[in-house]
A and B are shown apart, each in its own frame.
Chain A
Amino acid sequence: MEALVHVLMVFLILANLRLLGGTRLNVCIVTVAAQGAVLGLLPLLLHPLSLTRHALTIALAAVVLKGGLFPWLLKRALRQAGVQREVAPYVGFTPSMFFGVLALGLGAALARKLPLPAPDASPLLVPVALATMLTGLFLIVARRQALMQVVGYLALENGIFAFGAVVMKEAPLLVEMGILLDIFVAVFVMGIMVFHISREFDHTDTERLSELKDWTP
C-alpha cells in the first residue's frame, strides 16, 4: 500500500511541475483535474482497513467533482469567454519550475520541523502536500490569466486536501461534504466571473484589472 501511496505522490509532483511549466490553459485545467481526482483516492489508500461507506462516499464525491465537474465548468468558461489560450506568465516557465523543486525542498524542511502525530503516514505526504499548496499560491500570483488563478486555487485546495487526508482520519461526513460543496460553488462562481470579465473587458488579463486604487494621479 505504501508503494502505491508513493506512486501517487510522484504523480502529484509531476502534476505540479506540469502546471508550473504548462503554457496552455487547457493543459493546466486537465492537469489540475487529474491531480484532484487522483487525490480523491488518497484517503482510501491511507486507511485501507477502514473502508466504510462513509470513506467511499467522500472518495467518490471528490473524484467526480474534481475530476469531472471542475474541468467541465472551467472548460466551459474558457469556451464561452473565448479568451486567449495562453497562460500569460509574470514569471517565466523555467524559473517557475525551479520554484516547484524549491517548494519541494521547503516542504521537506518544514515537515522535519513539525513531526506528524500520525507516524504511520508516508514520509513523502507532508512535503508533497506543502509543495502542492505552495505551487498553487505561486500560480495565483505568477500568472495573469484569471482562469489560471482559479487553477492555482484548485491546486492549493488539492494540497490542503492531501494534508487533511493524513490528519483527519474520520472527519464528519457533513463537514467534508460541506468543504467539497463550498469549493464547487467557488469554482462555479469564479467561472461565471471569468465569463463576465471577458464580456466586459474583452480579455481576462488580471494585470489590466487595475482601475481601483487609492491616490490615482
Chain B
Amino acid sequence: MMLCLLLVGVPALAGVLAFALRAALPRRALLIGAALAHAGLVASAWAKRPAAAPEAWLALDATALWFVTITSVLFLTASVYALGYLRRDAATRSHEDEDDPDDDSIFQPVPEAVFCGCLLLFLAAMTLTIMSRHFGLLWVAMEATTLASAPLIYFHRSPRSLEATWKYLLICSVGIALALLGTFFLAAAAGEGADLTLGALARGGARLDPRWLKAAALLLLVGYGTKMGLAPLHAWLPDAHSEAPSVVSALLSGTLLNAAWVGILRLHELCVAAGLGDFSRDLLLLFGLVSLAVAALFIIGQRDYKRLLAYSSVEHMGLLALGMGLGGAAVTGSLLHAAGHSLAKGLLFLTAGNLLAAFRSKKVADVRGALTVTPASGALLLVGLFAITGAPPFITFVSELMIVRAAIADGRWLVAALYLVLLAIVFIGMAAIFLRMALGAPSKDGRKPESRLAWWPPLALAILAGVLGVFLPGPLTDLLREAAQAFGGTP
C-alpha cells in the first residue's frame, strides 16, 4: 500500500513543484529525478511484490505491475528525450516570442513549467489508473489522465494543435462520462450498499444482476474504448497524436492507451469472474477486428507520417483487444504485445520527432533520404518499421505469433485469416511509406547534426524490444502467466 501511494505521490508532488519552479534547470532535473525515482520504486516492487488484500483500492497485482513497468520504462526514456526537445524548443521560442507581448494573463503561464508539470501529473494519473482496483477510483484517475494530457497536446500553441486538443478533450470527456454511467450501472448490478472494488465484486460474481452487468460492460467498454482508441471510437486519436509534440505522442500512444486498456481489462476480469467471460470476449474480438480493419484502411496511402503512426496505434490496440477476445494462450500474447507495442511505438514517435525537427514537415512527401540527412534517425526509422510490424527478432514478433497460434489452435480460421491478411496490408502500407522516407535522394543538401539526446533514447527502446524478443527473463514469464490467469487465459 505504501509503495502504491509512493508511486502515485512522488510524480504528483514533483508535478506540482514543477509548476512553481521558475528556473528551467532545476525543473528539468526534477523531471528526470522523478522519472528515475518512479523507475526505482517499480524495480523495488519487482524485487519484492507487496501483498494486498483483495478489497484493497490500490494494489500492484500482476497486471498492474506489468503495465506500470511498461509505463515507467517508457516515461524514463521519454523524459530523457524531452530534455533535448525542451532545449531545442527553448532556443526557437526565444526567437519568436519577442513580438508577442500579451503573455501576462493566467491563461499563459510559462509554457515549459506547464509542460513539465503536466507531464509528471500525467504519469501520476496513469500510475493511479493502472493500480486502482476500485471502479470509482479508476474512473477518477482515467479522467485525470485526460485533463493532465490536454495541455501537453496544446504545447505548440498552433491553431492545428488547438483543434486537436479540443477534439481530444471533448470526445474523451464524453466517452469517459459514459464510463461513469457504466460504473453506476455496476453499482446497480451489485445491489444495495455495494463495495465497488474488483475483489468484492468478483467474489460475489454470480450474484451480480446479469442484465445490468451487461449494460455496464457495454458502457464501460465504449467509454474506456474511446480513450483507448478502439475503432470506431478513435476519432480523436490521429488528430491528437499528430499535433502533439513527438515526446507527448510517444507517451500518449505507448502509455496512455495502455492505461485505458487496463480499465477495460479490469472490467473483463470482473466479467470472467461473474461467468460472463464469453460475452466480454466476443465484444473485445469484434472491436479488435474492426480496429485492425479501419487502421489498415487508413494506413495505406497515408500522407502524414505522424498520422500514420497514430493509425498504427489503433491497429495495435485492436491487436490487444483481439488477443484478449480470443482467450486461451492468446491472453499471454496480448499482454506481452502491450510491451512490444509501447517500446516500438515509443521508438518510432521519438524518431519521428527527430525527422520533424530536421525536415520541418510532417508530410511523407517532404521527407526523402532520411538515411543521408539524419543517419541515426533514418536507421532508427527502419529498425522501428520492423519492430512495429512484428518482424523477428523483435518482441512483437513473439506476441503476434502467440496470438495467431492460439487462434489456429482454437479452430478460428476466419479470425486467423483476417488477422494475417490485415497485418500483411499494414506491413505493406507502412513499409512502402517508411522505405520511401528513409531511402531516396534527399531534396535538400547536407547532413543535419543530431544531438545524442535525440537518438540515444529511441536506440535504447529498440535494443530493449530486440533483446526481449530473443530472451524473456524468468520472472517476467512468471508474472505474465499469473496475470493471464485472471482473464481465463492459459499459459
A contacts, CB < 8 Å to B: 114, 116-118, 133, 137, 140, 146, 149, 153, 156-157, 160, 163-164, 167-172, 174-175, 178-179, 181-182, 185-186, 189-190, 192-193, 195-197, 200-201, 206, 209-212, 214-216
Tell yes or no: B155 within 8 A of A by CB: no
Cα–Cα distance between A137 and B177 once the two chains are bound (Å):
10
Contacting residue for B169 out of A170, A179, A190, CB 8 A:
A190
Closest-CB distance, B470 to chain A (whole angstroms):
37
Contact with A along B141-161 (1 / 0, CB 8 A): 001101100110010010110
Interface size class of B (residues with CB under 8 A): 35 or more
B147 touches A140 (CB 8 A): no
Q: A196 near B140 (CB under 8 angstroms)?
A: no
> Within B174-207, which residues are at the interface with A (CB < 8 Å)?
174, 177, 180-181, 184-185, 187-189, 191-193, 196
8 Å CB contact of A140 from B164, B166, B174, B302: B174
- Whether A156 contacts B174 in the complex (CB less than 8 A), given A163-B181, A182-B144, comes out as yes
Which residues of chain A have C-beta atoms less than 8 A from B139's C-beta?
A: 175, 179
How far does the Cβ of A195 sit from chain B's closest Cβ, in whole Å?
6
CB contacts (< 8 Å) of B184 on chain A: these are 160, 163-164, 167-168
Q: Are B169 and A189 in contact (CB under 8 A)?
A: yes
A192-B107, A200-B162, A214-B302 given; A160·B177 CB < 8 A? yes
A sample of 23 inter-chain contacts (CB < 8 A) reads A114-B211, A117-B212, A137-B174, A153-B170, A153-B173, A157-B180, A167-B185, A167-B188, A175-B134, A175-B137, A175-B139, A182-B140, A185-B147, A186-B147, A193-B154, A193-B162, A193-B165, A200-B159, A200-B162, A201-B162, A209-B163, A210-B163, A211-B163
A212 in contact with B160 given A182-B140, A189-B169 (CB within 8 Å): yes
- Cα distance A116–B242 in the bound complex, in angstroms: 44
CA A193 – CA B166 in complex, angstroms? 7
- Nearest A residue to B140, CB-CB: A178
| Complex interface: chain B residues within 8 A of A133 (CB) | 181
A127 → chain B closest CB, angstroms:
15
Take A164-B184, A192-B107, A196-B154 as given contacts and tell me if A174 and B147 are in contact as well, using a CB distance cutoff of 8 Å: no
A117-B192, A157-B177 as given contacts; A171 in contact with B136, CB under 8 Å: yes
Indicate if the CB atoms of A117 and B173 lie closer than 8 Å. no
Partner of B212, one of A114, A153, A192: A114
Is the CB–CB distance between B162 and A169 below 8 Å? no
Beyond A160-B184, A172-B136, whether A193 also contacts B174 by CB under 8 A is no
Closest to B102 in A: A199
The yes or no answer to B239 lying at the interface (CB within 8 A) is yes
Considering the complex, give the chain B residue whose CB is closest to the CB of A115: B211
- In the assembled complex, the Cα of A171 lies from the Cα of B196 at a distance in Å of 9
B307 neighbours in A (Cβ, 8 Å):
214
B215 in contact (CB, < 8 A):
yes
Residue B413 at the chain A interface, CB threshold 8 Å: no
Distance, CA A185 to CA B151, complexed state (A)? 12
Instruction: Report yes or no: B136 in contact with A212, Cβ–Cβ below 8 A.
Output: no
Considering residues B134, B150, B307, which has the most beta carbons from chain A within 10 angstroms of its beta carbon? B150
**Within 8 Å of chain A (Cβ to Cβ): is B315?**
no
- Separation of A175 and B134 alpha carbons in the complex (Å): 9
Instruction: Report B's interface with A, CB cutoff 8 A.
Output: 107, 134, 136-137, 139-140, 143-144, 146-147, 150-151, 154, 157, 159-160, 162-167, 169-170, 173-174, 177, 180-181, 184-185, 187-189, 191-193, 196, 209, 211-212, 215, 238-239, 242-243, 298, 302-303, 307
* A179 in contact with B140 (CB, 8 Å): yes
Q: Shortest Cβ distance from A139 into chain B, in angstroms?
A: 11
CB-based closest 4 A-B pairs: A175-B136, A178-B140, A182-B143, A167-B188
Rounded to whole angstroms, the CA-CA distance of A84 and B160 in the bound complex is 22
The smallest beta-carbon distance between A17 and chain B, in angstroms, is 21
Q: Which residues of A contact B215 (CB under 8 A)?
A: 114
A186 and B243 CA atoms in complex are apart in Å by: 21
From known contacts A182-B143, A189-B147, A214-B302, infer whether A197 and B180 are also in contact, taking CB-CB under 8 Å: no
With a CB–CB cut-off of 8 A, which chain B residues contact A209?
162-163, 166-167
A168 and B140 contact, CB distance less than 8 A: no
Q: Which of B150, B181, B192, B211 is in CB contact (< 8 Å) with A118?
A: B192
**Which residue on chain A has the smallest CB distance to residue B146?**
A186
Most A C-beta atoms less than 10 A away, residue of B143, B157, B215, B298 = B143
Return the chain B residue nearest A165 by Cβ: B184
B123 CB, nearest partner CB in chain A, Å: 17
Residues of B within 8 A of A117 (CB): 188-189, 191-192, 209, 212
Decide yes or no: A193 and B160 within 8 Å by CB, A153-B174, A179-B136, A214-B302 being known contacts. no
Given contacts A149-B170, A212-B167, A215-B303, 18 further A-B contacts (CB under 8 A): A140-B170, A140-B174, A146-B166, A153-B170, A157-B180, A164-B180, A167-B188, A170-B193, A171-B196, A174-B137, A179-B140, A182-B144, A201-B159, A211-B160, A212-B243, A214-B238, A214-B298, A216-B303
Contact of A195 among B107, B157, B165, B192 (CB under 8 A): B107
**Who on chain B is nearest to A187 by CB?**
B173
A174 to B185, CA, bound (A): 19
Q: How far is the CB of A12 from chain B (nearest CB, A)?
A: 16
Kindly provide the distance from the CB of A126 to the nearest chain B CB, expressed in whole angstroms: 10
Contact indicator B188/A186 (Cβ below 8 Å)? no
Find out whether the CB atom of B166 lies under 8 angstroms from the CB atom of A178: no
Cα A175 to Cα B180 with chains together (Å): 11
